[in-house]
Structure 1
Amino acid sequence: MARTAEGTPGAPHILIVGGGYVGMYTALRLQKKLKRELKRGEVKVTIVDPNSYMTYQPFLPEAAAGNISPRHVVVPLRRVLPKCTVRKARVTELNHDEGWAIVQPLAGPPERINYDYLVMAAGAVPRILPIPGLAEEGFSLKTVGEAIHLRNHVLEQLEIAESTDEVEIRRKALTFVFVGGGFAGVEAIAEVEDMVRDATKYMRKITPQDLRFVLVEAADRILPEVGPDMGKWTAEQLRGRGIDVKMKTFLQSAVGGNVELSDGSRFATGTLVWNAGVKPSPVVRHTDLPLDERGRVKGTEYLTIEGMVRAFTAGDNAAIPDLTQEGMFCPPNAQHALRQSKVLAANIVRSLRGKSLKPYVHGNLGAVAGLGLHKGVANPLGFKLKGWPAWFFHRTYHGMMVPTFNRKIRVLADWTLALFLKRETVSLATVEQPRADFELAALDDVKPKEKAS
């Protein structure tokens, strides 16, 4: 048998790489199904992730817009997984044939973890194209840190515009560009525009007419997940709010904040948000696992890794056949990740007990998207919902799906308070440079001494 990171021999060791949807929910179900075995030390489960929490990503746009506290969109792994070992570290190398992984903790040298069963659930990262200026000027909305940054950054742009009469500076600060017309991009621009419009009520120099929001999408439609008709309706709604929706358009350059688009448009922006697709986490490239042409781990309908024993995968980093559509793969969304984790955990338990595995089969239940307060679009089970009903369904669905009773109550409290209290639109940009004032004060204290000498 393998040795755990702590050096205890004997019990089968399950290593879960990634603490997102698949990683956390798989561990939760293993914790439930193997309760007695874990208590007696007959099985060990270790989760390795750079963060010690799981992020409920559908709430990130609302966190960026101030409708939900950022702390309430994350679930602390150690609290919900007391019977598992949570390692806040990065996997830098993995060899499944030999059953070991190298992890880099926050401090100290790399460590080797030996294991018996593998769950590769490292998720995805933004797919950054080699566009001049993008890496320097843009940011994404995949993490709670980015949601906090986006909110503070956007509100700080309003402060810049409010504090100057320089036309070019104001125009740049009040221009907001979002690239990507999928769920992430559309929800982000809709929620942020809603927040900014509220914030202008308290500004003396800025009116809603001064704002410029641009959504750039390479395809010929937005929100393909909700179907062509609902996508067209969403585009019309966004345009009705003054958002410039540019389809069949590419970002060609963003050097120095000067945006150049394929339709010939050129303008300066102080905010460039990139949500144009994702790619598998780089972790998978540093393993001996089989990858497809898109860099995804090759999975089977049983959520095992192709050609490997005691190895499982699911979620955004995996290519899992969609048994409801011949020749297709499961899309990288939360709906599939949540349900895959249930089957994955069950198959690990069945494997431990020498039983046959079950395939993963799940038909699409539809999609929901929030477009700001009291606005949304949805097609649950083929029913088309727009406006307030869709927004209500969006909140009901995600309120039910957010993990743990603790987080459900906190999110519900945020939403309830928002019905009676005005939205906070204060920029806390200084939290991203917390030592700036301290360093300035220290420098100011040094100068008089230098003059005296």
Structure 2
Amino acid sequence: MARPRILVVGAGFAGVECVRRLERRLQPGEAEISLVTPFSYQLYLPLLPQVASGVLTPQSVAVSLRRSARHRTRIIPGGAIGVDPKAKICVIRKITGETLDQPYDYIVLAPGSVTRTFDIPGLVEHARGMKTLAEAAYIRDHVISQLDLADASEDEDERASRLRFVVVGGGYAGTETAACLQRITQHAVKKYPRLDPRQIKWHLIDIAPKLMPELGDKLGTAALEILRKRGIEVSLGVSIAEAGADKVTFTDGRVLPCRTLIWTAGVAASPLVGTLDAETERGRLLVTPEMTVPGLDGVFALGDAAAVPDLAKGEGAFCPPTAQHAMRQGPKLADNIVASLRGESLRPYVHKDLGLVVDLGGRDAVSKPLGIELRGLPAQAVARGYHWSALRTNVAKTRVLTNWMLNAIAGDDFVRTGFQAQKPATLKDFEYTDAYLTPDQVRAHTASLTVRG
């Protein structure tokens, strides 16, 4: 009798934790496990701002799947571009461009999310995201190159546009990105004899009325004060009306010279969700508390791509798309797959949010672990301790700790590597959001397999 085939789509927090638990719980030969991912690493997203600012090297936050797995899982290098739940086939585009039709008995959809954009003129062409490792590395090079070019320029207008940086999104990612990058530019500018630190302008804007409302009024205000004290201009209730190559227009009418627009204004579920033709909640797959997709046999979903009921909050709430929930949903879903294989009852996912940590670089941080409000060095210790403990391999932990120590002792470096120096990088260049099939295309594709068979 053939062994059941379990296919996990996505190597983010949710997918990797699910695979790790499956490997521990399943007996050898009890099932086949496959993991679909274009990269052979799990990206530790919360530390991307520190990669962009050069505090951490890119390898530090890329946790090797080969090290963290027990070698029982087959890794398929590619991305899922469509799922036919009726035929139980997942269409995969391998990194070579070839198409693979992967049958499954159980499928775990953890494809994560992509940067959410809006119909703003020039946004897709001129904004940079902070969702992938390549984007973080690119932004670092880009920011340092603006200092180089401004220092060499004799044109005051060009210099002003190169030394103005705008970050859109006052949530966790945007706030940390603005704080970490502003810190490195203030340190770097001392090495440029023709530049004045007062010429560097950083702006953090958000359409919401508060900065990081999840922190509460007290800590949110503390974070706002830290940013403004550093010289970062924070504008709330404002967004981008138009983006250009050398200027941005805010919705309040301001037009600012700017050649660096970093967009972190939220995320949307992976476009893979749309290929299933299933019910969604604000773009995320609507699932049961056990993380099954209603009406689709053998289909489970979790993480950023799924609207998982938040039973701890109740009142129809759904779990927010955070690493904290994804890391805990993965093992619970794995347990439910094992239970399904063994004819046992499935259990619902329940987890109470443990709080939020925000590292603003240097000695600045605000944190709210277990409802306790912290700021400064205690908050910094909690934030870095949490991130360090969440890394899944000793190699990754050693790299991160070494990088932090080196940065504390030797300070920042301002090396520009030159990656993609000749090509402006857009959001689509990194996230490949146009690669997915429609539900009709998926069905037509799997139907053709039957005919050919």
Q: Same fold (TM over 0.5)?
A: yes
> Deviation at 1:269?
0.6
1:28 aligns with 2:20: yes
- Greater alpha carbon shift after TM alignment, 121-130 vs 412-421: 412-421
> Deviation at 1:302?
0.9
Equivalent position amino acid for 1:315 in 2: G
Q: Is the 8 A contact 2:90 2:101 kept in 1?
A: yes
Deviations 1:279-300 (A, max 9, x none): 0001111124x23242211111
Q: Secondary structure at the match of 2:86?
A: coil
> Deviation at 1:434?
9.0
> Deviation at 1:164?
1.5
Matches within 5 A, 1:40-439: 41-81=29-69, 82-107=71-96, 109-288=98-277, 290-325=278-313, 326-428=315-417, 430-433=418-421
Give me the whole-angstrom Cα distance separating, in 2, the residues matched to 1:224 and 1:197. Answer: 28
Give me the whole-angstrom Cα distance separating, in 2, the residues matched to 1:247 and 1:183. Answer: 15
Q: Which residue of structure 2 lines up, in the alignment, with residue 448 of structure 1?
A: none
Residues 148 and 342 (structure 1), Cα distance of their counterparts in 2 relative to 1, 3 Å cut: same
Give me the whole-angstrom Cα distance separating, in 2, the residues matched to 1:233 and 1:74. Answer: 31
Residues 150 and 337 (structure 1), Cα distance of their counterparts in 2 relative to 1, 3 Å cut: same
Q: Which residue of structure 1 lines up, in the alignment, with residue 6 of structure 2?
A: 14
Give me the whole-angstrom Cα distance separating, in 1, the residues matched to 2:52 and 2:381. Answer: 19
> Deviation at 1:78?
3.0
> Deviation at 1:307?
2.5
Equivalent position amino acid for 2:179 in 1: A
Q: Is the 8 A contact 1:137 1:257 kept in 2?
A: no
Q: Work out the percentage of aligned pairs sharing the same amino acid.
A: 38
Give me the whole-angstrom Cα distance separating, in 2, the residues matched to 1:371 and 1:304. Answer: 38
Give me the whole-angstrom Cα distance separating, in 1, the residues matched to 2:146 and 2:37. Answer: 33
> Deviation at 1:312?
1.2
Q: Is the 8 A contact 1:56 1:74 kept in 2?
A: yes
Give me the whole-angstrom Cα distance separating, in 2, the residues matched to 1:92 and 1:32. Answer: 29
Q: Is the 8 A contact 1:103 1:113 kept in 2?
A: yes
> Deviation at 1:108?
5.4
Deviations 1:341-377 (A, max 9, x none): 1111111111111110111111111100011111111
Equivalent position amino acid for 1:238 in 2: L
The size of the alignment, in residue pairs, is 421
Q: Is the 8 A contact 2:67 2:393 kept in 1?
A: no
> Deviation at 1:76?
2.1
Give me the whole-angstrom Cα distance separating, in 2, the residues matched to 1:258 and 1:156. Answer: 17
Give me the whole-angstrom Cα distance separating, in 1, the residues matched to 2:361 and 2:30. Answer: 49
Ranges in structure 1 where 5+ consecutive residues have no aligned partner: 2-9, 436-453
> Deviation at 1:166?
1.1
Deviations 1:256-311 (A, max 9, x none): 332111122111111000000100001111124x2324221111111111233322
Give me the whole-angstrom Cα distance separating, in 1, the residues matched to 2:279 and 2:173. Answer: 26
Give me the whole-angstrom Cα distance separating, in 1, the residues matched to 2:59 and 2:258. Answer: 29
Deviations 1:147-189 (A, max 9, x none): 1001110000000111112100110000000000000100000
Ranges in structure 2 where 5+ consecutive residues have no aligned partner: 424-453
Equivalent position amino acid for 2:329 in 1: Q
Give me the whole-angstrom Cα distance separating, in 1, the residues matched to 2:40 and 2:171. Answer: 28
Give me the whole-angstrom Cα distance separating, in 1, the residues matched to 2:237 and 2:45. Answer: 27
Q: Which residue of structure 2 lines up, in the alignment, with residue 445 of structure 1?
A: none
Measured on the aligned residues, the alpha-carbon RMSD in Å equals 1.5
Q: Secondary structure at the match of 2:233?
A: strand
Q: Secondary structure at the match of 1:327?
A: coil
Give me the whole-angstrom Cα distance separating, in 2, the residues matched to 1:146 and 1:408. Answer: 22
- Greater alpha carbon shift after TM alignment, 67-76 vs 41-50: 41-50
Deviations 1:110-131 (A, max 9, x none): 1211110010000000011111
Q: Secondary structure at the match of 2:23?
A: helix
User: What is the TM-score when the length of structure 2 is the normalising length?
Assistant: 0.90
Deviations 1:367-388 (A, max 9, x none): 0001111111111111111122
Pick the structure with greater CA Rg.
1
Give me the whole-angstrom Cα distance separating, in 2, the residues matched to 1:235 and 1:110. Answer: 48
> Deviation at 1:109?
3.3
User: What is the TM-score when the length of structure 1 is the normalising length?
Assistant: 0.90
Q: Is the 8 A contact 1:133 1:257 kept in 2?
A: no
Query: Which 4+ stretches in 1 moved above 6 angstroms?
Result: none
Q: Secondary structure at the match of 1:432?
A: coil
Equivalent position amino acid for 1:309 in 2: D
